[in-house]
Structure 1
Amino acid sequence: MKIFILFISATLLACHMHAQVAKKQTIMVSAKAVNGGGVLLKWPVDTLSGNYDIYKRTSLLIDNWGSKPYIKLPGNASSFFDSMLVEGTAAEYSLAKFAGLNTQSSGVIYAGNKLTEPVNSGSIILLIDSNYLVPLTMEILQLKTDMENEGMITHLIYAGRNQKPPQIRAQIIALYNSTKIKITTLLILGHVPVPYSGYFSATGNAPPPDGHIEGSGNHTGAWPADVYYGELDASWSDDEVNCTTGASARNYNVFNDGKFDQTKLPDAVDLEVGRVDLFDLPAFVKSDTVLIKQYLNRNHSWRTGSTVSIERALIDDNFTAFNLASTGYGNFAAMVPSDSIFNNRDYFPAQKQGSYLWSYACGAGSYSSCNGVGSTANFNNDSFNNTFTILAGSFFGDWDSRNNLLRAPLASSSLASFWGGIPKWYVHHMGLGKSIGYGTRITQNNIDFYYNGGFNSSFNSVHIALMGDPTLKIRNLNPPRLLTAQSSNRKVYLNWSPSLGVKDGYQIYRVDSMNNYMKISAQLFTDTFYVDDKNYQTGNYTYAVRAIKLETTPSGSYYNGSGAAITTVNHINGIGEYTNNELNIEVFPNPSQGVITIHFEEECMNLKDLLISDLTGKVIYKTDSGKTCENNFMLINLGSVQTGIYLISGSISNKKFVKKLVVIN
């Protein structure tokens, strides 16, 4: 097929074409966390010539690998222990085997040792097909609740099927710019209008990603481009491209037709975008509304730990002379044990006999089929059992088509799918608890930070898209339930029902108005109750409780948290309402701006240890002398003390007193 001639000439990997090229060109690196600190990287011994260079970045926010390798290793090496990785952290490692100037193989892993990720997940926009407003009210509410329990702020936008993409994007941008808590993610639910963009042609900006130029399939013109909704800064033009060579009029792109000119991204994608669109899948008989409802119910079961999958993966590679399947080999090594990655099993027969967390398949394709794999109709079978799948082949990467093969898994059992290998995808961070949307965005933005696969210049192009919910992760804990909170005797009493399944304990948080989760204690609690006796101020409070487990994966170890049980309470601290005072005092003015007068009911020459402290116990004023007390009055200037609630305490002739002071500055 001509599609692959383009790939062969563009590939960066200097390997002769032979069986299992994708596996040979991939360093299937995994990691093991070591108690006390450090991480052991491991990979299979290979027979390729050359030596290893390993690069390291200590933060995902660092946008380069450095000018020199972190370490060099001989060609027969199969492991490396990094003692510098301390507990509680993670680092990303890029491995490459070089023979002279030729790259023989490469791999990457995000490895951690007891990594603790922040609870807060930012904000998400649910961009919902307005056709589902009524029939899927409860399912959408459940999704919204699940996401909020996981620490996300949710925003809903309903869009009609006849709206124009620029109108919808304008709503997204306006919301993005107006929210206090940064929006990071966009889930498109349903047949929200599909943006099209690109000049894919032999004479255009780039060939079609699948290589079918004019005279060889004519998959030319504009392709679906959901990245348009996730890129929020650049201008997208519609007055430059005039291409009508496509076999389908759907791909025509002419001046001012509502389809954009850009083939490569005009700027970096800002949001993690995924789409669940099950419209126009007549092979499944059921309506798209019913199929979406079933998807959302499966989504809820997965993210709450009610459904699990066997942690294994299969690779059904029908293009063994090319490196497309390296997307499977490289990512699976970070998430699935090496002895549970199978490349000798067929895609459909195996996944109808038992569950697979991941699967990969590639072959010559049409819009609804993949040679050596199957067709859209094969997914219409209740016994198909998969959670995340990757497919590659001609045509069906153009996913806005009838009975499209890339969307079909979501109408069956899968929760996410993508066109992997065109270009090469990077979702390996999921091995340490990241979402699939994180890998989607870095793949879309990748030019050469990671090896892009060299396939038809498909990297950083507008067609790269995730089918599925971008917030999904590979491991999920069952959350605690029925959290209650009662305020009594200046304390808050929490009780909850236990989460199901294995866990190390519970983490308890107070949640502020900006959705920040603040741990009450660094320790985990194994009971299903807790008394918060350090909440000193009266007010309305939100509490959250999550199940926590230290997960061990082929990427090391990390602390995983369930969705939270959340409740609110009107807490009355009662500071100053002391009935056991042995001595009464008066404070005025109260509230004060920092200068107060205290009146004692007894002679204050015998005053001992008058203290003024804040609610954490920090002393801001102290006197043990009655010399400043005249006629049972004492004047105190607290200076520029901060606004807040303070306690005045002390004793006269062994009689104790406590009084609340409010300072407003």
Structure 2
Amino acid sequence: MPASPSTERAGETLRRPSVRVTGGGGRRSGALGAVIGLGLGIGLAIGMTAGTAMAQPQRWAAWSFEGGELAAEDGTKPLSHTAGERVPGVLGDGVRFGEGGGALVYPVSGRRGRSAVDPVRMGVRLWYRPDWSSAGPGGGQGPGAWATLLAIGDREGHPQDGWWELAIAPEGDRLVFRSGSGPRQTYAIESGPVTFRAGQWAEVAWNVFPGRVRGFVEGRMILNDVPARVPGPGAGAMRAGMAVGGLPDGRQGARGTLDEVALFDGGVDRVELWKRNRVLSVVPLEEDSGLRLAWRLDPAVEIEVRRTVSGVSNWVTVGRVERADTWEDRALEAGRLYEYQLWTNGRPSRLDATAGVGLPAVEDRGQVAVLVDETVAGDLDAELRRLERDLMADGWRVWRREVPRHDDREWLANTNAIVRIRSMLQDAWRASGGELRCVYLIGHVAIPYAGMEAEDTHTGRGNNHLGAWPSDHYYGDMDGIWHDRMEYPAHLAPPRFGITRNVPGDGKFDMAWVPPNEAGDTRLELAFGRVDFAGMPAFGRGRSAEVALLRQYLDKAHRYRQGGMPFEPRAVVGAYFENYTDMAMLGSAYRTGSRLYGLDPAVLGEGDLFALGDGRTAAWGFQSGAGAIDRIRDNWPGMVTTARLTEPRHQARVAFSMLMGSWFGDWAAGENNLLRAIIASRDHGLATFWVRYAEWRFDPLARGGTLGDAQLETANRHLVYRDPNRGTTRTLTILGDPTLRLHVTAPPGRVRGQRRGESVELQWAASPDAAEGYRVHRSMDPGGRGWERVAELGRNERRFRDDAGPVGAVYLVRAAQRMATASGSYTNLSQGMFWPE
């Protein structure tokens, strides 16, 4: 067998370190990674990191091998070209290196972007298609000799200049990384088992930071080492260039095809690697002339784009591309909403999107029921009246009532109130002709309980969570038939909290999903959300503390609507189980981020929403980790607790957050629930969500919809199949205001007006965002009958005269702004300004 690279020179010792992998419940395993077979490819990352937080990487250099001269992305030509033929690549063309050896050598020294290339502080990403299969599970013999993918320096001829190499072992079943800064300062390490198959693409990536070497296959850790130092090549080796497809002298050829090679000044993390098959964006083309679809998929010879008008099941193929990751649709109608699906090699992928260009503004949002805990309504009278005006100014018709408070001491004292509240909502829904679309619960309104599941999987003694959880979806279902007749499993230990136990006739319902009505329909009719700060003693005990938090939240949401709380348009994602358990959160994170912002790590990338650093903010934050009622990443570095969040400097600087961890979904259990602690901050935290299996559809936010619209789409399109592995509607709770939107257009200034006979004259101060002008609306009963648009004005028109203004009419002026998102473009309207005020 050929000599190991670690023994070719004195001083090198090839090691196989133990791998510490996070288990599903926060425990760690000592296994060194299993053999992972390839479907259409594998992704591997070997990372060297000094901590959990990494800056989003910027690209130093990239090679796609599309031109005849095989130049880099910036036009830099190779220093030498001793091997490599252009062949079909993963995207466009790639370069194949055969058995004859040789390599492409490119210059990499000098400053690029914000820093110079540093081989022990960088990330690399590439695609590789072997001409051979691995020994063992791969069914082959491997390359038969060392196959080098990338290399810097001449380890044998000029060891004093240092070296850096990534190679595949002769058997093809492991990767070896080695580096050195001279004969006495060397480092070499091999990964756990990996399986390659001939002709199948593999995505390979590794990160370089001081102090840690980590390896991943498809996001699964196969290598974890913490060396005291990682030596690397010096200036001489760097000036000689980086070899692609073999060693600089042409030996140890890659014996396969390389494509899409890129160097970054930061790490290519698991969040980035796991995007494949999970992200799709649809951005508008210039002047809304069409849409550009961009995706990350396993390599496919043919990708088929299918399209239909939204709501119509008439799918047609509108485009086909080969080995590509983008496609443009210019044959569509502005103002119309479309649905897209991607198929690969004749089979449906999991990627779909809803998008359009020039979509119209939403002016009428229907009716919202605002139900307020009767014990706090009086204290919040001014804030509630302001909330009503805010809702009317966004196109809602408001129906407000005071309802009973939940009794935490005696469950049976709540059952009649819960049924009466739903009955009241049903009457209002029928009276509205179905225009009632949302219920907003404020305070400790009576809490329905339902279900016989433990969606966080805890059923052991002392930690049993199986049974009924808070289920506000009961208030959102207007016609389902609910039952209370299931027996609690006798073989289980008593639940940790008595309220969870669910037995026949106790007023806790059986259904974790919306039950069918008499016609078999299981749709959720009303979106539902709740702002409730009962049981949060970390922020203060007693009624006064609870009222203060409610008032603070209502003040905060008002500021946000008015444009006074901007957040950076990006989604940060922290996957801290560090295994496939994270995928239960990442599905929602990837869909949300890519449909709202795009695919780039700068807008959808790794980050800890509780530690954004440097005063930065984010509109969205996603995080998974071992949970307890009041904490995440329990007993791990970076643990966050509710007590910690009471300090403003530790609060999460995000608008909307989604967490996956044990106990969070049962948001009323115990005290100091972490999700509710996030929205208890003064200046951030507008809504939080728990996720376990459901892949939320926040796409409506990209076209002016509300959180409630996203909840309804998730419930009625994604959760129509009663599969526990897809999630339940009882845990689709929005902890926060369900009427909030993502994009905030600054409203115009104060509206002044006067009546002259039968006419009304209005004027107002400009909005800085009114690129599309202003809309003027009129109503005789804004809270009941809504608004009629009476004028659409240009951006410089800030006066309006209504020659037939009826006595008693109320006017509303709203600024209009075109918004471009990763789901197309639409007209967004600001909060309206009233006259008379």
* TMscore range, shorter length: 0.7 to 0.9
Partner of 1:31: 283
- Return 135-144 or 318-327, whichever deviates more: 318-327
Structure 1 gap segments, 5+ residues each? 5-12, 201-207, 570-665
Q: In the alignment, is the contact (CA less than 8 A) between 2:814 and 2:832 conserved in 1?
A: yes
Shift of 1:416: 0.7
Which of the numbers 530, 534, 557 marks the counterpart of 2:800? Answer: 530
Contact 2:706-2:740 within 8 A present in 1 as well = yes
Percent of paired sites with the same residue: 26
Question: How far apart, CA to CA, are the structure 2 residues paired with 1:192 and 1:229?
Answer: 11
Separation (CA, whole Å) in 2 of partners of 1:351 and 1:70? 46
Q: Does 1:247 align with 2:496?
A: yes
User: Is the partner of 1:258 in helix, strand or coil?
Assistant: coil
Pairwise CA distance, 1:85: 2.4
Q: How does 1:332-351 map to 2 (within 5 A)?
A: 332-337=593-598, 338-350=600-612
Q: Which of 376, 379, 382 is the matching residue for 1:138? A: 382
CA distance in 2, matches of 1:538, 1:461: 46
In structure 2, the residue matched to 1:182 is 435
Residue identity opposite 1:348 in structure 2 = F
The residue that corresponds to 2:790 in the other structure is 520
CA contact (8 A) 2:572 2:607 kept: yes
Corresponding residue for 2:56? Answer: none
Match of 2:526 in 1: 271
User: Would the alpha carbon gap of residues 2 and 40 (structure 1) be closer, same or farther in structure 2, given more than 3 Å must change?
Assistant: closer
Amino acid in the other structure paired with 2:697: Y
**Correspondences of 1:255-294 after superposition (within 5 Å):** 255-266=504-515, 267-285=522-540, 287-294=545-552
Matched, 1:314 2:572: yes
Distance 1:549 1:365, change over 3 A: same
SS at match of 1:340: coil
- 182-191 or 519-528, which deviates more: 519-528
How many angstroms does 1:522 deviate by? 4.4
Change in Cα spacing, 1:36 to 1:366, as seen in structure 2 (3 Å) is: closer
Which residue identity does 2:307 align to in structure 1? K
Counterparts of 1:352 and 1:188, CA distance in 2: 35
Q: Distance in 2 between matches of 1:50 and 1:511?
A: 57
What is the DSSP-based 3-state SS (H/G/I as helix, E as strand, rest coil) of the residue aligned with 2:523?
coil
2:451 is matched with 198
Q: Normalising by the residue count of structure 2, what TM-score does the alignment of the two structures yield?
A: 0.60
The 8 Å contact of residues 572 and 621 in structure 2, kept in 1 or not, is answered as yes
Structure 1 residues 353 and 521, CA gap change in structure 2 (3 angstroms): closer
Contact kept in structure 1, 2:40 and 2:299, CA below 8 Å: no
Post-superposition Cα deviations, 1:435-489, rounded to whole Å, max 9, x if no partner, equal: 1111112222344679x9x7x4343442321111111111112222433443336
Matched, 1:403 2:403: no
Write the distance in 2 (CA, Å) between the matches of 1:36 and 1:261.
49
Measure the CA separation in 2 of the matches of 1:276 and 1:90.
Answer: 33
For 2:794, what is the secondary structure of its paired residue? coil
Q: 2: CA distance between counterparts of 1:251 and 1:50?
A: 52
Q: Per-residue CA shift, 1:179-226, capped at 9, x if unaligned?
A: 3671111111111111110121xxxxxxx2222245694221111111
Deviations 1:410-452 (A, max 9, x none): 11220011113421111122112111111112222344679x9
Amino acid at match of 1:30: V
Number of residue-to-residue matches in the alignment? 542
Partners in 1 of 2:820 and 2:694 — Cα distance?
Answer: 30
Which of 458, 462, 465 is 1:219 aligned to? 465
Instruction: Give the RMSD, CA atoms, in angstroms.
Output: 3.0
Q: 2:748 aligns with which of 454, 457, 480?
A: 480
The residue type paired with residue 759 of structure 2 is: K
- 1:567 matched to 2:567? The reply is no
Q: Match of 1:235?
A: 481
**Which of 302, 309, 330 lines up with 1:83 in the alignment?**
330
TM-fit CA distance, 1:115: 1.1
3-state SS, counterpart of residue 425 of structure 1? coil
Q: Pick one of 760, 764, 772 that aligns with 1:496.
A: 764
CA contact (8 A) 2:341 2:353 kept: yes
Please give the alpha-carbon distance, in whole angstroms, between the structure 2 residues aligned to 1:552 and 1:146: 25
Other-structure match for 1:608: none
* Normalised TM-score (structure 1): 0.75
The answer on 1:169 being equivalent to 2:422 is yes
For 1:99 and 1:418, locate their aligned partners in 2 and report how far apart those are by CA, in whole Å: 36
TM-fit CA distance, 1:505: 1.9
Once the two structures are superposed, the pairs formed by residues 4-23 of structure 1 within 5 Å of their partners are 18-19=218-219, 20=270, 22-23=274-275
Q: Determine helix, strand or coil for the equivalent of 1:462.
A: helix
Unaligned stretches of 5+ residues in structure 2: 1-22, 27-38, 43-216, 220-269, 408-413, 516-521
CA distance 1:392–1:57, change in 2 (3 Å): farther
- The 5 A counterparts of 1:439-518 are 439-447=710-718, 456-488=724-756, 490-501=758-769, 503-511=771-779, 515-518=785-788
CA distance in 1, matches of 2:817, 2:791: 16
Once residues 329 and 616 of structure 2 are traced to their aligned partners in structure 1, the CA distance between those partners, rounded to angstroms, is: 37
| Closer/same/farther in 2, CA of residues 38 and 432 from structure 1, 3 Å limit | same
Following superposition, the deviation at residue 281 of structure 1 comes to 1.4
Change (3 A) 1:277 1:492: same
- 2:367 corresponds, among 104, 118, 123, to 123
- Counterpart amino acid of 2:218? H
2:625 equivalent among 331, 356, 363: 363
User: Aligned partners of 1:53, 1:214: CA distance in 2, in Å?
Assistant: 48
* 1:296 aligned residue (554, 568, 591): 554
Contact 2:771 2:795 in 1 (8 A): no
What does residue 376 of structure 1 align with?
642
Provide the rounded CA distance (Å) in 1 between the counterparts of 2:715 and 2:644. Answer: 29
**Which residue among 552, 560, 567 is the counterpart of 2:820?**
552
